[in-house]
Amino acid sequence: MRVGGEKRPLRQDLQDYDPRQRRRTDEVKYPDHQWDDKDGHYMITLGESLLPRYKILKVIGEGTFGKVTQCWDRHEKKYVAIKIIKSIQKYRDAAKVEISILKDIERKDKNGTSGCIRMLEAFDFRGHFCLVFDLLGMSMYDFLRQNSYRPFSLNEVQIFGKQILNAVSFLHNMGLIHTDLKLENVLLVNSDWQYHRHAVHGRSRVVKRKDVVVIDLGSAIYEKDHHATVVSTRHYRAPEVVLGMGWSFPCDLWSVGCILLELFTGEATFQTHENMEHLAMMEKIFGKIPLHIVSRVDRKESGRYFSDSGELRWSEEATQDSVRAVEKLKPLKSMFDLSREDHRQFYDLCRELMILDPNSRMTASASLNHPFFQLNIEPDFTDLTLLQYPDAPIPPSTMPAPPGHVPGKINSTQVPRNTASETLLQQNPSFHAGLPAGGSETSGKSWLPQDINA
């Protein structure tokens, strides 16, 4: 298990875009105002207003798309998050698409039950599109990281998993494919937590309110629209995307399967940045890639990855590090205690979501009716909070560490997973310790600045 709070690198593997190779026209800001920096970011002054309505309190995230600020809504008397898009034309164009999708979601989710992020308003300010959202809690990845990568209980995985699949089902029914589902893009509505005692993992943070929202529709694609060759962050990328076979709704279900396994184990399953190794890992966990899939791969790609007999060429060119990374993985079934009904059903759900053939993979709507979600799973945390010692450090996990693990550091055999900087509320370490809109590390409760002078 990983221990510590290492910072993961920004995503580097979306091969269809390299910011260092932008065309000259991409660098033209629209319009070219004095309040933009050289990269097209709006130069924010704390305390200033975006329109008369919103007062900027702090910057809470930054990415290639722009910046995210925490603001005070003077009309509604509440805190909001505002995503300020760069003034560069290509990002403005992308924002128009995202705004259109978010408005479409709003029209079709009148009751607010989809589990998808809801945009409150969008406006153009000094050449920057601004998207307004409710201020939510931290991402599930941040919560996992700050809990020293201790796994969530199966009871929690069941609760979170159903909400995520409900959101994906809603999007798919709209004809939308999210394409970038990952723990960073699932936010807790409220990050308040308390300590509980776990039989295996010791004292662990348990979130009080188990409501989540799927965010970042900036990469979503309608099925009828053009599909880029490469989508998804590497650790959650489906085999059909890796093989360049084309993709559709099933790629989202593979990503959800990766998310559920990560919640259950505390670690990303596919810790790699290279296609051949990625495919070898898939075969180690799920078995040999079937010949009928190999036959559907483009001839050029097929020759790169497979022999004439359909065998993966990985062993021909694998480095020692790659061999170790693949060999340490176990078949999917071995991750579960199959003497337990809840584990058997969860194993079956993950297996159905992660079938190598996308045509055979379970759909989002069907997954919601899986027997796993009908079980009454008791929490495996002792109902004993340790709030009388709120400032005591979390002890190291009692789970056995991976071979060669160095406490406080990423294991050299564990590849830091990529992450997209476009995440709506990607947290800035200087902003807070992971609690929503600021927070007390010792109490696990949210706080917000009261003196806003609005």
Where in the sequence numbering do the catalytic residues fall? 180
Dist. CA 270–CA 51, nearest whole Å: 45
83 annotated ligand binder: yes
Query: Which amino acid, 281?
Result: M
Instruction: Measure the CA–CA gap between 194 and 19, rounded to whole angstroms.
Output: 42
Q: What does residue 167 show for φ and ψ, rounded to 5 degrees?
A: -65, -40
Pair 247, 238: CB distance under 8 Å: yes
Amino acid letter, residue 76: E
Tokens describing residue 297: 């791969």
Q: Please report the DSSP string for 205-244 in residue order.
A: EEESS--EEE--GGG-EETTS---S--S-GGG--HHHHTT
CA dihedral 259, 264, 270, 271 (to 10 degrees): 110
Beta bridge partners of 221: 177
Number of neighbours of residue 205 by Cβ within 10 angstroms: 19
- The Cα–Cα gap between 71 and 78 comes to 9
Contact 115, 166 (CB under 8 A): yes
Angle formed by the axes of helices 154-173 and 250-265, to 10°?
Answer: 170
The pairing of strands 186-188 and 176-177 is unpaired
Phi, psi of 124 (to 5 degrees): -105, 120
Residue with tokens 């709006």, as numbered in its chain: 42
Strand ranges, E, within 35-134: 49-50, 54-62, 66-73, 78-85, 119-125, 128-134
Residue list for the binding site for ATP: 83
